[in-house]
Amino acid sequence: MPPRQAVKKQLLAYAMIFPALFFFALYLVFPLVKSLQMSFYDYDGVGPLNSFIGLGNFAEGFRDSRFYEAMGHNLILMVVELVVSMSVAFVLAYFLFRGVFAWRWFNVVLFLPYIIPLAVSAVIWSLIFEPTIGMLNQLLGALGLDSWQRVWLGSQDTSLLSVILVWIWRTIPFDMLILLGSLLKIPKELIEASKIDGCTGIRTVWSIILPLMLPTIVLLSIISIANDFRSFDIVWIMTQGGPIGSTEIASTLVYKLGFQENHYGYANAVAFMVFVIVTAMVGLVSLILRSWNGPNERAGG
Amino acid sequence: MIKRSWMTAVVALFAITSLYPLIWVVLQSLKTDTDFFANQWGLPERFIWGNYATAWEQANFATYYANTGLVTLASLVGGVAVCIVAGYAFGKIRFRGRRSLQVLFALVLFVPSPVLLLPVFFINRDLGLLNTYAGMIGPYIASIVPMGVLLMQSSFAGLPNELSESAKIDGCGEWRTFYRILLPLTLPTVATLCILQFIGVWSEYMWAFISNTNPKMYTIAVGMAQMASKKYVYGFGPVFAGMVITSIVVILVYVVLQKYFVQALSEGAVKG
């Protein structure tokens, strides 16, 4: 290619990338830099940044019990999501894969909790958990389980559990969809062959199907971890992090420290610490699971 | 060997937990409040369609719908277009700095939003974009960029080079080759991006909630949540009706495009 044309082509490439890069830089990269910058200042949100306090905000974060509690709740949410949602989703996906009556209909219906807006789910479930008029307590009463009735969202003992339940309800369909997609890619001959070799159903799942699905499971775990720390809507609408901080998670804490307490520098430091922890976790999980997987199966997924 | 009917029973049980809360909402949306307090399991005594009118008028759903529609359309068209052109450049043109830019885009795929919350607010405040459509559309476009560019890039890269070469021999320039020959072949990926962006933006709550203090700028998710927090003012019936009004568009689009939805979500997750 003559050099002038090559230069023109390069310029065209930059011109085509520019719009994406513009939004990417303005709303994804610049905010990260700005967040880090603000976290070195004591800032109440008014006027310019002028009281530099070095690592003071980070030091405060390491001493702050609210930070540890919020991270703890987020970690519980994450572990329960990874274990419960994924296992239930796997069972459902496997059953759909093996063949269930009317599976097309079930496929449509099972996915609904993921489709309706998260804010709507949050409102629906706060009404279901309502102590007097809520469906759950009425159902328990009707079944004669009055002793199980609770002030679900209003008591510190059950609020986190209730919020996590909604999160599971919401995430199972997505996990199921991804796992089913991966199941459908497994060659039928492999499963037939294992049956001829005398494998029972559960053994086939354990030693043939699960290893083949590992790349998908790794990927799904990473997506789930990232999403668990992104969640805000459900907790904010259902409990606003209460009662007494019992459902506080990273995002609601950052919101409160900033917008409600006007402690923006510190809020940014906390947000940045969450960012580093989540990024480290995602990296760690992918490293561990990949090394398990061995080099020969990396291609799948 | 687990029997087929047993498996169906388990799946059906879960289908009920998925579906019943939604049916419950629709049933309550047609009741008077006394009817709801007395009997929330059965059908309404009388069907109170007026709850929908109350929600629509008093809770300003017309405004929320207009806002959400406009913001979704702009973020969808803008976001997808931006990803298409950048994806083409990354997938089909060799240029300096391509690798490093790609790595940069991939790094941001898993940024948790709490870290973006405050700085994006301040950036938009300084740009005077709080309580504006642009203040929502910009961040929404940015939100699809990392994954969208990746998907479009692999879609373009998968097309054989002979196609564009023969188009050039026929006298097509770079732009025409892209627009006329290659773009139509990537339409399935474009559809995937449209669906992901539609469902993401239409239902988005957190940023719309933080970015707008003016109720005239609320999107439906924010307006509905605000309305629900005043359920004793509006009454339960209209609040339930508001939830139906909020969800109905997404559900309709999902039911009609179910096949594409499933493909879009799994492709978005697996390849992104």
Lowest mean pLDDT among A264-273, B23-32, B103-112: B103-112
Q: Which residues of B5-33 are buried (b: 16+ CB within 10 A; e: fewer)?
A: eebbeebbebbeebeebbebbebbbbbbb
Return the pLDDT at B82: 96
Residue positions counted in chain B: 272
Set out the domains of chain B in order of their start, with CATH numbers. Answer: 61-222+257-271 (1.10.3720.10)
Return the pLDDT at B132: 94
Tokens in use for B200?
Answer: 């993401």
> What's the whole-number mean pLDDT along residues A224-246?
89
CA distance B209 to chain A (A): 10
Which of B8, B143, B243 is the closest to A120 by Cβ? B243
Return the pLDDT at A298: 41
Dump pLDDT digits (tens) for B57-98: 888 899 999 999 999 999 999 999 999 999 999 988 888 888
B108 vs B192: which has the higher pLDDT: B192
Question: Which of 241-270 (A) contact B at CB < 8 A?
Answer: 250-251, 254-255, 258-259, 264, 267-268
A115 touches chain B (CB under 8 A): yes
Show residues of chain A in contact with B88, CB under 8 Å: 16
Return the pLDDT at B15: 92
Which of A16, A35, A229 is the closest to B119 by Cβ? A35
Within 8 A by CB and 6+ apart from B229, the residues are none
For residue B268, pLDDT over 80 is answered with no
Return the pLDDT at A301: 35
A202 touches chain B (CB under 8 A): no
Check if the beta carbon of residue B182 is closer than 8 Å to that of residue B137. Answer: no
For residue A128, pLDDT over 70 is answered with yes
B265 touches chain A (CB under 8 A): yes
Dump pLDDT digits (tens) for B90-106: 988 888 888 888 888 87
**Phi and psi angles of residue A52, each rounded to the nearest 5 degrees, phi first:** -75, 130
Which of A17, A201, A222 is the closest to B86 by Cβ? A17
**Phi and psi angles of residue A41, each rounded to the nearest 5 degrees, phi first:** -120, 155
Q: Where are the domains of chain A?
A: 39-115+163-297
B171 touches chain A (CB under 8 A): no
Measured between its terminal Cα atoms, the distance across chain A in Å is 38
Check if the beta carbon of residue B55 is closer than 8 Å to that of residue B245. Answer: yes
Query: Using CA atoms, how far apart are residues B158 and B67, in angstroms rounded to an integer?
Result: 38
Question: Which of 46-75 (B) contact A at CB < 8 A?
Answer: none
Region A39-115+163-297: CATH code: 1.10.3720.10
Instruction: Please tell me which residue of chain A has the smallest CA distance to B9.
Output: A100
Instruction: Give Cα B217 to chain centroid, integer Å.
Output: 18
Return the pLDDT at A7: 83
B120 touches chain A (CB under 8 A): yes
Confidence of residue A2 (pLDDT cuts 50, 70, 90): low
Query: Using CA atoms, how far apart are residues A117 and A113, in angstroms rounded to an integer?
Result: 9
Check if the beta carbon of residue B227 is closer than 8 Å to that of residue B240. Answer: no
Query: Using CA atoms, how far apart are residues B97 and A229, in angstroms rounded to an integer?
Result: 32
Within 8 A by CB and 6+ apart from A228, the residues are A74, A77, A78, A81, A167
Coil, strand, or helix at residue B89? helix
B205 touches chain A (CB under 8 A): yes
CA distance A238 to chain B (A): 10
Mean pLDDT of chain B: 88
Q: Which residue has the tokens 């990874």?
A: A82
Dump pLDDT digits (tens) for A55-74: 889 998 899 999 999 999 99
For residue A295, pLDDT over 70 is answered with no
Q: Which residue has the tokens 């492709």?
A: B267
Contact B225 A118 (CB under 8 A): no
Q: Which residues of B236-261 are buried (b: 16+ CB within 10 A; e: fewer)?
A: bbbbbbbbbbbbebbeebbeebeebb
Mean pLDDT of chain A: 86
Residue positions counted in chain A: 301
Helix intervals (H) in chain B: 4-28, 33-38, 50-58, 61-92, 98-107, 114-126, 133-157, 161-169, 174-176, 187-202, 206-211, 220-229, 231-234, 236-256, 258-271
A284 touches chain B (CB under 8 A): no
Residue A41 pairs in a beta bridge with A52
Smallest Cα–Cα separation from B236: which of A135, A288, A142?
A135
CA distance A157 to chain B (A): 23
Show residues of chain A in contact with B141, CB under 8 Å: 23, 27
Dump pLDDT digits (tens) for A251-272: 999 999 999 999 899 999 999 9
Smallest Cα–Cα separation from A175: which of B25, B10, B269, B19?
B269
A10 touches chain B (CB under 8 A): yes
> What's the whole-number mean pLDDT along residues B168-182?
82
Contact B110 A226 (CB under 8 A): yes
Return the pLDDT at A300: 40
